[in-house]
Amino acid sequence: MRRLIFVLTGALVLILSGCTKYQIPAPECPTDLPTDVSFAGDVQPIFNANCIVCHSGGQAPDLSEGWAYDELIDGGYVDTDFPCESELYQVFSGTHSGRATDDEVLTILGWIDEGAKDN
């Protein structure tokens, strides 16, 4: 009986050691980004068209005009050192993909890449 338990335990260990958590590889960070992106002229209109239905005060971040910039910067949604790791970009690439066009997402990423200025 001990031998059977030992063999079954060994088999279970071998089976479980072969299991790994399924990981989805992160998409590559785009490199050909728009330049001279203006928050007020380019980014805010994207939020106005695609986001403020839900994000206009009732759900964070508030992306309505006059609030969006401070909400994104103060809320930690933007990482100018690693733009593709910014939560804002990750959301548009993940759970909210398809809510903005690819060009709009690249515009937002270009704005972050240029330092996420309030311009």
In this prediction, residue 16 carries a pLDDT of 62
What is the DSSP code (8-state) at residue 71? H
Residue with tokens 């986001």: 51
- Per-residue pLDDT averaged across 2-15, rounded? 69
Q: What angle (nearest 5°) sits at the alpha carbon of residue 64, between those of residues 63 and 66?
A: 110
| Tens digits of residue pLDDT in 11-60 | 666 666 665 666 666 668 998 999 999 999 999 999 999 999 999 988 99
The model carries a pTM of: 0.77
Supply the pLDDT for residue 28: 81
Give the pLDDT confidence score for residue 43 in this predicted structure. Answer: 98
What is the pLDDT, as a whole number, of residue 22?
63
Q: How far apart are CA 63 and CA 113, in angstroms?
A: 19
pLDDT confidence of residue 57: 87
Span 62-72, pLDDT tens digits = 999 999 999 99
